[in-house]
């Protein structure tokens, strides 16, 4: 229950860790799309594979850096409530905080990445847009 202790003892640190999770996701996603864009130039149709391979590294960064991601916390709080080690109200606060700061971090870091050179002046048929459309 280190996650609960951190949430109870240092809300600011917990919020920062939630924002860092989306930093790692944003960097990983940018690297994955950058790799996929180059792979598509070399071997059309290979973008999906290279994206998936490279994206997995953002999840590895989240785990090793101890960041707080909403999707993993959904499992954590559900199990905690089920095993009666966590009250529903506390689980909702933890998950709500995680999602809020994941959103704030995601918007902030995605905006910052959007300003970098590789993501400027992309043509409409670029793999980035078809990849995003497929995810949506």
SS3 82: helix
Query: What digits encode the pLDDT tens for the residues 60-85?
Result: 989 899 899 999 999 999 999 999 99
Query: What digits encode the pLDDT tens for the residues 18-40?
Result: 999 999 998 888 889 889 888 98
Name the DSSP class of 124.
T
Give me the number of domains the chain comprises. 1
pTM of the model: 0.82
The CATH number covering residue 121 comes to 1.20.1080.10
- For residue 44, what are the domain limits? 2-135
Name the DSSP class of 10.
-
């Amino acid at each position: 229950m280190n996650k609960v202790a951190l949430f109870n003892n240092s809300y600011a640190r917990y919020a920062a860790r939630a924002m860092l999770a989306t930093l790692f996701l944003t960097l990983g996603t940018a690297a994955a799309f950058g790799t996929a864009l180059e792979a598509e130039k070399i071997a059309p149709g290979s973008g999906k594979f290279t994206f998936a391979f490279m994206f997995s590294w953002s999840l590895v960064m989240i785990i090793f850096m101890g960041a707080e991601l909403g999707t993993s916390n959904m499992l954590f709080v559900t199990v905690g409530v089920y095993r009666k080690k966590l009250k529903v109200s506390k689980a909702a606060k933890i998950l709500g905080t995680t999602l809020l700061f994941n959103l704030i971090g995601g918007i902030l870091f995605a905006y910052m990445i959007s300003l970098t050179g590789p993501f400027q002046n992309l043509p409409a048929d670029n793999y980035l847009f078809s990849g995003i459309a497929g995810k949506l």
